[in-house]
Amino acid sequence: MKKIYLILAMFVLMTMALPLSLSAMEYQYKFDVKNMQFSWTIEKDLIHVKLSAKTTGWVAIGFDPENAMQGANIIIGFVKDGKVKVGDHYGNRKRGHKSDEKLGGKNNVINPSGSEENGMTTIIFTLPLDSGDAYDKPINPEGISRVMLAYGAGKDSFRNRHKYRTLYEINYSTGETKKIK
């Protein structure tokens, strides 16, 4: 009997140690812009993200871009035939990006999931605030940062150009946003 209680106690402790279930997560902040929604929660050294757009193509977010796409940690994803593909890319030039893995880094996306329903594509994922990867800048949970949001039209391919893109200043700890362009 003691063994059963011990196993049950260990199970409860392990469950409590895991991050919140992403599908059931209540995000702390969100904002809507031109048929897109970006929601996030900072939890210890992680950021949990939900990104949706009115498209059957890809959706993407770029953290801390320097010059257009250049320098950004870009997370891009789509859903095809019920399967989710989420990539960790780096803005290696002003108007382009490559996967971190092709550049010699690694894919630091944790627990990717998503859906495509009624013309809306949603990707959900978690990132470390500081992965240590040369192709990922640390995400500063305090103060002002830049974020790019974009989505592609109709094709499930990372090579398809964006239909919409925008750039915002964001404060991850207060939820405040300001459009840059």
Distance set, CA 180 to CA 70, 84, 95, 115, 151 (Å)? 16, 30, 18, 29, 18
Q: Whole domain around residue 126: which residue ranges? A: 24-179
7 in a domain, yes or no? no
DSSP secondary-structure letter at 3? Answer: H
Q: What is the CATH number of the domain that holds 62?
A: 2.60.40.1210
Sheet holding 46-53, edge to edge: 29-33, 36-43, 46-53, 120-128, 110-117
Say how many domains are in the chain. Answer: 1
135 in a domain, yes or no? yes
pLDDT band with cut points at 50, 70 and 90 for residue 22: very low
14 in a domain, yes or no? no
12 in a domain, yes or no? no
What's the full length of the chain, in residues? Answer: 181
Q: Is the pLDDT of residue 23 over 60?
A: no
109 in a domain, yes or no? yes
71 in a domain, yes or no? yes
| Average pLDDT value for the chain | 84
60 in a domain, yes or no? yes
Tokens 């990372």 belong to 158
Distance CA 3, CA 114 (A): 39
Element (H, E) at 8: helix 2-17
157 in a domain, yes or no? yes
Answer yes or no: are the C-beta atoms of 100 and 136 closer than 8 Å.
yes
Q: Report the predicted TM-score, pTM, of the whole model to 2 decimal places.
A: 0.82
Q: Residues 10-23: what's their mean pLDDT?
A: 42
Comparing 164 with 86, which gets the higher pLDDT? 86
Distance CA 61, CA 150 (A): 6
> Helix, strand or coil for residue 44?
coil
